[in-house]
Amino acid sequence: MRTLLRPAIVLFVLLTVLTGLIYPLLVTGIAQVVFPRQANGSLIMKDGQAIGSELIGQPFDDPKYFWGRLSATGPFPYNAAASSGSNLGPTNPALIAEVQGRIDALKAADPTNTQPIPVDLVTSSGSGLDPNISPAAALYQAPRVAMARGLDVAKVQALIAQYTEDRQLGILGEPRVNVLQLNLALDALKPGS
């Protein structure tokens, strides 16, 4: 027993130095040199200032912007310092109420739209920070955004196509639209163009 004590303690300390200090610092060093943008949160820069992250969604409920997924983070949506899903079970009345609430808000913002609503637009994401919506969810909102901005719907649809990413390597995941980048592109459009 005594003979096992020293190896146990010294070995644990040495492995702590190796895997808890050298290894993460080595990864940090290489990452900061080779992939500095990704390693620091894939920030979107404008005039030297970070104006958001490509990978982190933001809350939108103005009709002139595309809206993202519902977010269950507290105390406000898209709190990127406290990620969380809703964890509501599939038969929980609170889930149905939340979905209905989003449907009502979408309908109130665009009463003329009678299309079925894509499911990702009325449900909460797992992280509460999902940067994406499906192409269907973006196309569903195109008429509203076009109307609110006085733009041609075709122009908005073209912008959606531009910010749509296909499945990765053609097979992995799902096609998706980056909501923040799409909204930033909308804001950057010259008035009247």
Partner 1 sequence: MTVNGILQIVLYFVILIALVKPLGAYMARVYEGQPIRLARLLGPIERLIYRLSGIQPEQEMNWKTYAVAMLIFSAFGLLVLYVIERVQAGLPLNPQNFSSLPPDLAYNTAASFTTNTNWQNYGGETTMSYLTQMMGLTVKNFVSAAVGMAMAIALIRGFARRTAQTIGNFWVDTVRGTLYILMPIALVLALVLVSQGVVQTLDDYKTVPLVQATSYDRPMLDAAGYPLQDASGSPIMETVNVTNQVIAVGPAASQVAIKHLGTNGGGFFNANSAHPLESSTPLTDFLEILAETCIAAALTYTFGKMVKDTRQGWAILTVMVIVLAVGIFGAYAAEVNGNPKLTPLGVDQVSTDLNPGGNMEGKEVRFGIARSAIFATATTATSTGAVDSMHDSFMPLGGLVPLAMMQFSETILGGTGSGLYGMLIFAIIAVFIAGLMVGRTPEYLGKKIEAYEMKMASLIILIMPLIVLFFTALATVTKEGNAGPLNPGPHGFSEILYAFSSMGNNNGSAFAGLTGNTPFYNFTGSLAMLMGRFWLAIPTLAIAGSLARKKIVPVSAGTLPTHTPLFIALLIGVVIIIGVLVFLPALGLGPIVEHLKMIAP
Q: What would the two tokens of residue 81 be? A: 């310092």
Q: Are 76 and 61 in contact (CB under 8 A)?
A: no
Containing 139, the helix (H) or strand (E) segment is helix 135-149
State the nearest-atom distance from the C-beta of 192 to partner 1, in Å. Answer: 21
Pick 52 or 144: Cβ nearer partner 1: 52
Q: Are 73 and 83 in contact (CB under 8 A)?
A: yes
Distances (CA, A) of 171 to 132, 133, 161, 164, 183: 18, 18, 19, 15, 27
Q: What would the two tokens of residue 88 be? A: 């509501």
State the nearest-atom distance from the C-beta of 64 to partner 1, in Å. Answer: 9
State the nearest-atom distance from the C-beta of 187 to partner 1, in Å. Answer: 7
Pick 134 or 141: Cβ nearer partner 1: 134
Q: Are 173 and 148 in contact (CB under 8 A)?
A: no
Pick 131 or 151: Cβ nearer partner 1: 131
Pick 90 or 192: Cβ nearer partner 1: 90
What secondary structure letter does DSSP report for 33?
Answer: H
State the nearest-atom distance from the C-beta of 148 to partner 1, in Å. Answer: 13
Pick 80 or 153: Cβ nearer partner 1: 80
State the nearest-atom distance from the C-beta of 72 to partner 1, in Å. Answer: 9
Question: What is d(CA 42, CA 31) in angstroms, rounded to the nearest whole number?
Answer: 13
